[in-house]
């Protein structure tokens, strides 16, 4: 449970999601996705000594930094500074972002032994690896005629096992995840007024504009035509 002012560090190879628990208007939750190589080259001594032990620790899937905990202020302030730099993009902002990320990793490394650890069962790690492979396949082939067998085959598992993995960890079926990603891509493309709805639906893997519109409204609550008219 995160409150305003809290930060969460999610480690690599960790599937995660966000859900707002109350309120009709979405609360702002800025995020930054980055590689540890932003701080230092993976072949360098700094990465091997300070970044690698954190990034490869299966017992450290995430860390929550609470705004009510005084010793977490270093990370929370660094996170805020990163967001400001990314938003303003003033001169040398990339170096400022790199500097703040280095501060965060320095803090995590210095307090590594005191951070709560969570032992992740091997079966859960394997399931997440499978899901990541299947999601990667969806992201790369969403515009094509993708079947459940194709998605399962990308992780070398059966269709039933693919369905179990998705339902257990993502709360939906593989096909539903494919449709949701297609709609997400289409949502962004709707702002390009030079593209027709048919062109957008076809380029996102939908071969029926009517089906595309129904699925879009089911997820977003309004039709693709309405988003263009309202400028949402």
User: pLDDT (tens digit, 9 = 90+) per residue, 21-55?
Assistant: 888 787 888 888 999 999 999 999 999 999 999 99
User: pLDDT (tens digit, 9 = 90+) per residue, 72-99?
Assistant: 999 999 999 999 999 999 999 999 999 9
Give domain limits for the chain: 7-114, 122-230
**CA end-to-end distance (rounded Å), the chain:** 29
**Rounded CA gap, 43 and 45, in Å?**
7
Contacts of 153 (CB under 8 A, 6+ apart): none
DSSP state of 163: H
Res 232: pLDDT: 53
Residue 170 has pLDDT above 70, yes or no: yes
Res 221: pLDDT: 86
Percent of the chain whose predicted confidence (pLDDT) is above 70: 98
- The torsion of the CA quartet 40, 46, 49, 51, rounded to 10 degrees, works out to -20
Res 167: pLDDT: 92
User: In the CATH hierarchy, which top-level class contains the domain 122-230?
Assistant: mainly alpha
Is the Cβ–Cβ distance between 47 and 41 less than 8 Å?
A: yes
Is the Cβ–Cβ distance between 198 and 191 less than 8 Å?
A: no
User: pLDDT (tens digit, 9 = 90+) per residue, 176-196?
Assistant: 999 999 999 999 998 888 889
Residue 110 has pLDDT above 60, yes or no: yes
pTM here is 0.68
Name the one residue in this structure whose structure tokens are 């939750």: 29
Within a 10 A sphere around the Cβ of 44, how many other Cβ atoms? Answer: 12
Q: Which has more pLDDT, 1 or 227?
A: 1
């Amino acid at each position: 449970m995160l409150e305003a002012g809290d930060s969460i560090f999610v480690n690599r190879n960790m599937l995660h999601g966000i859900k707002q628990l109350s309120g009709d208007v979405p609360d702002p939750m800025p995020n930054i996705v980055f590689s540890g190589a932003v701080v230092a080259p993976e072949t360098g001594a700094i990465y091997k000594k300070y970044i690698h032990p954190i990034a490869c620790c299966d017992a450290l899937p995430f860390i929550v930094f609470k705004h009510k905990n005084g010793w977490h202020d270093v990370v929370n302030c660094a996170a805020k500074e990163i967001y400001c730099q990314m938003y303003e993009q003033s001169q040398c902002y990339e170096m400022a972002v790199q500097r703040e990320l280095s501060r965060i990793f320095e803090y995590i490394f210095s307090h590594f032994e005191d951070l709560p650890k969570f032992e992740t069962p091997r079966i859960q790690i394997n399931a997440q690896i499978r899901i990541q492979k299947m999601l990667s396949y969806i992201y790369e082939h969403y515009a094509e005629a993708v079947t459940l067998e194709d998605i399962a085959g990308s992780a070398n598992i059966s269709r039933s096992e693919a369905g179990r993995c998705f339902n257990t960890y993502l709360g939906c079926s593989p096909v539903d995840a494919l449709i949701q990603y297609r709609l997400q891509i289409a949502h962004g493309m709707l702002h390009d007024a030079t593209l027709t709805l048919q062109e957008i639906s076809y380029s996102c893997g939908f071969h029926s504009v009517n089906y595309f519109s129904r699925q879009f409204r089911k997820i977003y609550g309004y039709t693709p035509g309405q988003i263009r008219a309202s400028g949402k």
